[in-house]
């Protein structure tokens, strides 16, 4: 290993990817052989989504570079956001000259990171590649993987998909999903503290979280209306979290306004990651189309009603119920929620940061050629 600390830069653009990357960032920050920096952009920089850049600093990460890559007029114009982010991040990479750029998932900022890293010869790692996303995110995730030099994946299934994409075995490392580290740790606040901080007036509740489906933009007004109708008709209490900033989010926000003055609902633009996990851990269930219902909720054995097509094709833990965006069907599913479902460790066992750090602290990782080659494999 180099005697000079290697600089590792993480890119984060949403509350979700920060939650995924947080344990990895902490492991880098605590290692004297490495030096952490964070490029903060996207939804983190927008007041309407809670201005969550502040939460990154409050989590103890101080070497931050904040960059506004969009405003209220272009939040849904993914091509413009991509171009702006590539330009801003490119300037940052050429000035900072990090040894490694770490990006996550399937958002447009991840694609920008992969492009900027590849074109500036910065070693770039993709966390949680090789998975199925659905909608346009599916295209973005696999494009990001092809542009990146190394992969930290959740499981062997994801690793196999990367091999299908022609990636070399030596570039793929199975570490699990990093957010499971936080989920299974002792870092979560007590539920009473979460209720106090976010002014949640009830002890029994479900979590509702509906994101837009970009490839079904024309249907989103009807989907959002049916979703809110179902929540109102169910008779249950809900903590409702606002959607991400994809095309169609305004339709969802418009419908969610119907819940704002209702005593059975507490609507929030966002939550700190650990606070969201604490809420999820003790929820009666979850409804919507967030990946949290597919990945995180089953870790705690929480019942999930997965609405519509956004998560189609992805791994479903036993007990996750798929329903169409039909108000009557959603109400029936909410009425039939079981007290719990079977837990799963498909996405990790809480040791992702440990495995990630072990890879970074090898000479072979830093000596790997930045020039990738496609691996042809026999078609069965």
Domains in the chain, start-ordered, CATH in brackets? 6-184+349-367 (3.40.50.2000), 191-335 (3.40.50.2000)
Question: What are residue 74's phi and psi, to 5 degrees?
Answer: -130, 15
d(CA 187, CA 181): 10
- Where are the alpha helices (H) located in the chain, listed in sequence order? 15-29, 53-58, 78-96, 108-119, 135-147, 156-164, 179-183, 191-197, 220-234, 249-256, 273-282, 291-294, 327-335, 352-360, 363-367
**Closest to 246 (Cα-Cα) out of 280, 210, 222, 195:** 210
The number of beta carbons lying within 10 Å of the beta carbon of residue 154 is 26
For residue 94, give both structure tokens.
């050429």
d(CA 29, CA 378): 42
d(CA 133, CA 126): 15
**Helix or strand run (H / E) with residue 38:** strand 34-40
For residue 96, give both structure tokens.
């900072």
10 contact partners, CB below 8 Å, separation of at least 6? 21, 24, 25, 28, 36, 37, 38, 39, 101, 102, 103
d(CA 122, CA 97): 8
For 4, 84, 136, 220, 360, the CA distances from 49, given in Å and listed in that order, are 38, 19, 22, 20, 33
Give the pLDDT score at 137: 83
Identify the three-state secondary structure at position 206.
Answer: strand
d(CA 161, CA 130): 5
Q: At what angle do helices 15-29 and 273-282 cross, to 10 degrees?
A: 110
pLDDT averages per 10-residue partition of the chain, 380 residues:
87 93 97 97 89 92 95 75 96 97 96 98 98 85 98 97 97 97 94 97 97 91 98 98 89 96 95 94 97 93 96 86 97 97 92 98 96 90
pTM for this model (two decimals): 0.88
DSSP 32: T
Identify the three-state secondary structure at position 233.
Answer: helix
- Report whether 232 contacts 62 (CB < 8 A): no
The number of beta carbons lying within 10 Å of the beta carbon of residue 295 is 25
For residue 70, give both structure tokens.
């969009």
């Amino acid at each position: 290993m180099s005697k000079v600390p290697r600089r590792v830069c993480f890119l984060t653009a949403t509350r979700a990817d920060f939650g995924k990357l947080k344990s990895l960032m902490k492991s880098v920050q605590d290692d004297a052989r490495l030096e952490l920096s964070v490029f903060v952009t996207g939804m983190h920089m927008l007041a309407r989504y809670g201005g969550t850049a502040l939460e990154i600093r409050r989590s103890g990460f101080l070497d931050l570079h904040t960059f506004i890559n969009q405003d209220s007029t272009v939040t849904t114009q993914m091509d413009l956001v991509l171009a702006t982010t590539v330009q801003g991040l490119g300037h940052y990479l050429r000035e900072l000259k990090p040894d490694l750029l770490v990006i996550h998932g399937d958002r447009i900022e991840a694609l920008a990171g992969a492009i900027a890293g590849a074109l500036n010869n910065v070693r770039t790692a993709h966390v949680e590649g090789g998975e199925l996303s659905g909608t346009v995110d599916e295209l973005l995730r696999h494009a990001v993987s092809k542009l990146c030099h190394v992969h930290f994946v959740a499981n062997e299934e994801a690793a196999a998909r990367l091999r299908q994409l022609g990636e070399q075995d030596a570039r793929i490392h199975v570490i699990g999903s990093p957010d499971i580290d936080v989920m299974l740790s002792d870092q979560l606040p007590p539920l009473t503290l979460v209720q106090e901080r976010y002014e949640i007036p009830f002890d029994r509740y479900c979590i509702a979280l509906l994101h837009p489906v970009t490839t079904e933009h024309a249907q989103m007004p009807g989907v959002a209306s049916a979703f809110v109708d179902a929540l109102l008709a169910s008779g249950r209490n809900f903590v409702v979290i606002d959607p991400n900033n994809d095309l169609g989010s305004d339709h969802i926000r418009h419908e969610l306004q119907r819940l704002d003055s209702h005593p059975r609902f507490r609507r929030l633009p966002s939550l700190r990651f650990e606070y969201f996990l604490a809420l999820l851990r003790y929820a009666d269930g979850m409804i919507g189309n967030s990946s949290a219902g597919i990945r995180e909720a089953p870790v705690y054995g929480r019942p999930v009603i997965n609405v519509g097509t956004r998560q189609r094709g992805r791994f479903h833990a036993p007990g996750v119920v798929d329903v169409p965006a039909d108000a009557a069907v959603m109400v029936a599913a909410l009425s039939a929620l079981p007290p719990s479902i079977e837990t799963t460790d498909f996405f990790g066992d809480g040791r992702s940061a440990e495995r990630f750090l072990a890879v970074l602290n090898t000479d072979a990782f830093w000596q790997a050629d930045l020039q990738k080659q496609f691996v042809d494999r026999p078609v069965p």
